[in-house]
Structure 1
């Protein structure tokens, strides 16, 4: 069963990639989508078999991979609760995106290539989440990076799509460099890249006091790692390794400052945004930290950094989302912000809450992205919300699906009860966990997450009101052609809406509740006594009410601004022009990186090209030598004039020189 789950997407990619032209678009769509549906159904079977039974973690051998001295990394499928949760997320969303794309991409002449890329991406993601060692994880990690590059730049004749694909690839290479160094560091510290060996060694790596207090205490304080000229003992080395691994997670999961690629990636087709940038690839960093939780738990410093970066990203992306006008970019910044929530939970050691939010977020964020695609499909590929409005009655099914996604994203529910959407259970749990968190950034994180919840509610309802309510702002021709999406696009929306509404209430006991131990069975690191798990259930009532109040405030302000008084936001933007431009330009991160990194790199490259390569290497090397040969030959050929008296004169000079040489030689 597990072989089928993992390799059916690969089979679909190979069939369509090699034979797509001969099979045709329809056959390519049905083959890849059919394989993904089978994988998704089997993933749910595996989810209930592993998560809701006594089955312990196990591995399934695939083939021998690397065996070089102490480095051994076989291709194996690691099956535990964390794996099957990710299998459900990846394959369910991917299957629905495949089906949705049959309708969304039906006019595109290159559909076989598109569906092949989707299946390739899914296979690479499955390689990542089923990995039993860091080498296999890195293989999947780079695979999803390649597939995302191909999918973002799918419309390769569009310059902005090419630029976005290159940007995503380059920014992720920065993070991946850190991940690679971290992987090397893990091998140095633990002598293996196999997760089973690493986790067993990590349990006794540091004395208990050092692990809990973050003190630089190791056996004898011996140097175990040299990094950038610094000799590091066990505690410091582990912190450095964890931070390097987190650097990789920051790139994939779009955390500040490696977030700049995510909004630009919206240049790809909308189904790509739903699959890669909402539910799967961007959660790879969250999964990686959760999988390596037994290592991260030994570094309080690293966890504190994770908490800070997550909280800062949550508030940063939420502020930028307030003023964006592209419907997909609003949702993209929402994704960036929600990933910040997940990293806060990871930094606090509340790993199950992070994965729970990853699980629920996949449903409602994929729903919002695919819903926005349905809107774009209806309004002739327009993405600017300022040119929409009045669509509520024209595309009612899409409207209600977007409403459900918004309710789940903003966490609508009744505090201290089990009545609420998926986001209500998972997002509120992280906020409550931040309140009882024990690291130095917990209070900061709690404050930032509550404020981010206000902004999230505001920009989410702003999107709804600008898109569906009010007077139509599109041209009469566009409004005349507005139509509801076909069933092949609406059915995936309905299925995702079910998950957005009920995934929280159905599974919260297993993920973060009383059934935690029996569900996870050691797949995530848990503090002795389940400290944070117990404490977050007993926070004061005002803490439980804080996310609800934040959601309500954001909703009411959006109603005032975009339903009752639409001129208010325009007036505020004019009054606070500097702040508005600051947010509209995304805190000028792109401009800052362009000034500090991109332009100097271009200047250096131009200098090396013109002076280093052109003048120095070519000028004094091959080109210089060949030029001198040409000069000499050009002068030599001038001696060949064709006149007899020139040759006779040359012979006379030669004879005279020979006689002179002979006379001088005989005199000595």
Structure 2
């Protein structure tokens, strides 16, 4: 039975983490690479074997659980029972493919990108640990085990984002990601407490079957549970208001950004909402909240992405915006469309981040697009592969992102949501903005006159060690805009980096063909594949049926027109007349500064939340509680002990007559207590 080998998929990366984490410091780099890559590759192979075996045997059942550890008694307390169990169904198979295959390509890319970095073994140990926890999250058969993976990816992200821990910005970014996600996790915990209170279990099958057997359950405690789950999802998947950690996550090495943004952590919230759709389907209010959060986040992040200058930061806000599309899909009940976009997004966003890493590698750590330009002929493989990613995310017909994004927009338009048409309009506007900022990145990076300084190659190993971002980001940080110190000439990346780019470029183009809608001659294979998962337990969440194929074609034409408008505006501002955008910025300085500074959300959070908490902690907790109560009680106890010790010390004088006197005094005291105590007792 293929499902019986599920436990090997997360265990193999964990073995790689243990080996590199304990012995990696003493191992040569090729062996560290092998220890990290082979387990990840084997996990991907097991997934492929599982996929083809289950496909050949027909559609798998909705839930297959395998208890892998601790028998049937992992946790059993006062009637509450939880198994250490993994599950596999249609949704799990897709998520496993994304995590293992894209994760392996990012591991392979990292071998070239991190070749000259200190802490090479530590990086791959953390990377394997990240894979382990994400696979546990995807495979879990209950909320408790899912929460273990949920917290684990939070820990691993903290370690990877803060990999360059000697840089304050990286250390602070890691702490920011960790703390913001704990806020969301608190909501997730409360949801789990409510689930135990109402169902007496955290097992998926038990909870979903119980809900399905009670069609009269609508809203109420199910809404409370769903909204608390949304709090957790907004933290992990970087949605309003807990999105602020994700842009700073770019402080980690570029492969970390690709892993977090494309294949693992940020998709966890989307996966959790889709997995628990049975609960959300019973709460139109909660679904409405999800849809509104998704649409607002998609539009808001796209606005910020249009004016960012750091190439990785543009992609970071792009990720937030694309995750908003997935939230929007789930909010209108189009869970399959959301997972479809999750799949295509994993391909093109991994490609875009890794291609950006190749650009940064070529320019020795430079990330500011104002210091790029003219790279199209210098790094042609990177250019063409990144072009595929730009076309995919922009929704150009034929590329993967077009099919998944168009499906979300169509489902929003025909949904039963009262504001479905408005949500569709927001999605279309966001699609145009996405096309604009991605082609802006494309033109500024690869076209026009070079805006970088090129220096001859340096052949000593000390200079070569500065090729990558971890070292050179510190070097470049001290230079004024437009003045960079490159230690060597612009160069194409090694094939350990380019190979994954080529594979991901192909997937970014063809990966969406599995979900081609019928109006384009397809059969929506991914929707059919996921139907057994999302058709179970539904209660009234559906779509209006009066819309024809002609309407769908018109909606598609509108979304393509939005993407075309975004392209032509970027073409006019950054290729045809490159100085035009700067003149508009000078014409509207207040508006430009507002958007460039990300609407000052971080500053507002700092002033309204962080600073008052710090003041409260320092004045009340640190001064009064810690300094007064804790330290005061400790000082009092110590002073009392010293005083009693000083008195007792006088008894031990070494004088025999003194001892005899103390003995007589003690005997008299004992006799007095016996006499007077006995008399008091008689009375």
Tell me whether 1:499 sits opposite 2:499 in the alignment.
no
- Which among 344, 359, 371 is matched to residue 375 of structure 1? 359
Deviations 1:312-359 (A, max 9, x none): 000000000000000000000000000000000001000000000001
Alpha-carbon shift at residue 124 of structure 1 (Å): 0.2
Q: Show the counterpart of 1:252.
A: 236
- Which among 11, 21, 29 is matched to residue 15 of structure 2? 11
Q: Show the counterpart of 1:359.
A: 343
Alpha-carbon shift at residue 15 of structure 1 (Å): 1.4
Alignment of 1:176-195 (within 5 A): 176-195=185-204
Q: Secondary structure at the match of 1:21?
A: helix
Tell me whether 1:437 sits opposite 2:415 in the alignment.
yes
Deviations 1:178-207 (A, max 9, x none): 001011112222221111111101113341
User: Does the Cα contact within 8 Å between 1:47 and 1:85 map onto a contact in 2?
Assistant: no
Q: Show the counterpart of 2:293.
A: 309
- Which among 541, 544, 554 is matched to residue 566 of structure 2? 554
Q: Secondary structure at the match of 1:61?
A: strand
* Counterparts of 1:270 and 1:145, CA distance in 2: 18
Alignment of 1:381-530 (within 5 A): 381-413=365-397, 420-477=398-455, 478=486, 481-508=489-516, 513=523, 515=525, 519-520=529-530, 522-525=532-535
- Which among 131, 134, 141 is matched to residue 125 of structure 1? 134
* Counterparts of 2:432 and 2:377, CA distance in 1: 28
Alignment of 1:60-139 (within 5 A): 60-64=66-70, 65-139=74-148
Alignment of 1:597-608 (within 5 A): 597-608=609-620
Alpha-carbon shift at residue 572 of structure 1 (Å): 0.8
Tell me whether 1:35 sits opposite 2:32 in the alignment.
no
Tell me whether 1:261 sits opposite 2:245 in the alignment.
yes
Alpha-carbon shift at residue 47 of structure 1 (Å): 2.9
Identify unmatched segments of 5+ residues in structure 2.
456-485, 647-683
Alpha-carbon shift at residue 465 of structure 1 (Å): 0.6
Alignment of 1:223-234 (within 5 A): none
User: Does the Cα contact within 8 Å between 2:12 and 2:43 map onto a contact in 1?
Assistant: yes
Q: Secondary structure at the match of 2:492?
A: coil
User: Does the Cα contact within 8 Å between 1:51 and 1:520 map onto a contact in 2?
Assistant: no
Residues 509, 76 of structure 1: CA spacing in aligned structure 2 closer, same or farther, 3 A cutoff? farther
User: Does the Cα contact within 8 Å between 1:164 and 1:267 map onto a contact in 2?
Assistant: yes
Alpha-carbon shift at residue 529 of structure 1 (Å): 9.8
* Counterparts of 2:249 and 2:150, CA distance in 1: 18
Residues 533, 43 of structure 1: CA spacing in aligned structure 2 closer, same or farther, 3 A cutoff? farther
* Counterparts of 2:8 and 2:241, CA distance in 1: 38
Residues 186, 51 of structure 1: CA spacing in aligned structure 2 closer, same or farther, 3 A cutoff? farther
Paired residues, what number?
A: 603
User: Does the Cα contact within 8 Å between 2:333 and 2:542 map onto a contact in 1?
Assistant: no
Tell me whether 1:145 sits opposite 2:154 in the alignment.
yes
* Counterparts of 1:576 and 1:48, CA distance in 2: 57
Q: Show the counterpart of 1:231.
A: none
Q: Secondary structure at the match of 1:382?
A: coil
Q: Show the counterpart of 1:649.
A: none
Alpha-carbon shift at residue 614 of structure 1 (Å): 5.5
User: Does the Cα contact within 8 Å between 2:382 and 2:498 map onto a contact in 1?
Assistant: yes
Tell me whether 1:161 sits opposite 2:166 in the alignment.
no
Tell me whether 1:322 sits opposite 2:306 in the alignment.
yes
Deviations 1:263-282 (A, max 9, x none): 00100000000001222110
* Counterparts of 1:535 and 1:544, CA distance in 2: 17
Alpha-carbon shift at residue 446 of structure 1 (Å): 0.7
User: Does the Cα contact within 8 Å between 1:308 and 1:441 map onto a contact in 2?
Assistant: no
User: Does the Cα contact within 8 Å between 1:278 and 1:332 map onto a contact in 2?
Assistant: no
User: Does the Cα contact within 8 Å between 1:12 and 1:32 map onto a contact in 2?
Assistant: yes
User: Does the Cα contact within 8 Å between 1:351 and 1:525 map onto a contact in 2?
Assistant: no
Tell me whether 1:54 sits opposite 2:62 in the alignment.
no
- Which among 3, 6, 18 is matched to residue 2 of structure 1? 6
Q: Show the counterpart of 1:563.
A: 575
Deviations 1:577-609 (A, max 9, x none): 111111111111101111110000010011025
* Counterparts of 2:632 and 2:192, CA distance in 1: 43
User: Does the Cα contact within 8 Å between 1:270 and 1:369 map onto a contact in 2?
Assistant: yes
* Counterparts of 2:639 and 2:615, CA distance in 1: 28
Identify unmatched segments of 5+ residues in structure 1.
212-234, 414-419, 635-668
Deviations 1:134-182 (A, max 9, x none): 0000000000000000000111111100000000000000000000101
* Counterparts of 1:442 and 1:464, CA distance in 2: 33
Residues 521, 342 of structure 1: CA spacing in aligned structure 2 closer, same or farther, 3 A cutoff? closer
User: Does the Cα contact within 8 Å between 2:20 and 2:122 map onto a contact in 1?
Assistant: yes
* Counterparts of 1:480 and 1:273, CA distance in 2: 25
Residues 300, 164 of structure 1: CA spacing in aligned structure 2 closer, same or farther, 3 A cutoff? same
Alpha-carbon shift at residue 35 of structure 1 (Å): 1.4
Tell me whether 1:585 sits opposite 2:597 in the alignment.
yes
Q: Secondary structure at the match of 1:502?
A: helix
Alpha-carbon shift at residue 622 of structure 1 (Å): 2.7
Q: Secondary structure at the match of 1:481?
A: coil
Q: Show the counterpart of 1:637.
A: none
Residues 502, 530 of structure 1: CA spacing in aligned structure 2 closer, same or farther, 3 A cutoff? farther
Q: Show the counterpart of 1:45.
A: 49
Residues 623, 359 of structure 1: CA spacing in aligned structure 2 closer, same or farther, 3 A cutoff? same
Alignment of 1:625-664 (within 5 A): none
Deviations 1:363-402 (A, max 9, x none): 0000000000000000010100001111110000000011
* Counterparts of 1:10 and 1:629, CA distance in 2: 51
- Which among 282, 287, 303 is matched to residue 266 of structure 2? 282
User: Does the Cα contact within 8 Å between 2:158 and 2:177 map onto a contact in 1?
Assistant: yes
Residues 205, 147 of structure 1: CA spacing in aligned structure 2 closer, same or farther, 3 A cutoff? same
Larger CA deviation: 24-33 vs 264-273 = 24-33
Residues 433, 51 of structure 1: CA spacing in aligned structure 2 closer, same or farther, 3 A cutoff? farther
* Counterparts of 2:540 and 2:548, CA distance in 1: 14
* Counterparts of 2:226 and 2:621, CA distance in 1: 38
User: Does the Cα contact within 8 Å between 1:343 and 1:354 map onto a contact in 2?
Assistant: yes
Alignment of 1:188-227 (within 5 A): 188-207=197-216, 211=218
RMSD, matched Cα: 2.3
User: Does the Cα contact within 8 Å between 1:82 and 1:524 map onto a contact in 2?
Assistant: no
What TM-score comes out, normalization by structure 2 length? Answer: 0.84
* Counterparts of 2:426 and 2:281, CA distance in 1: 23
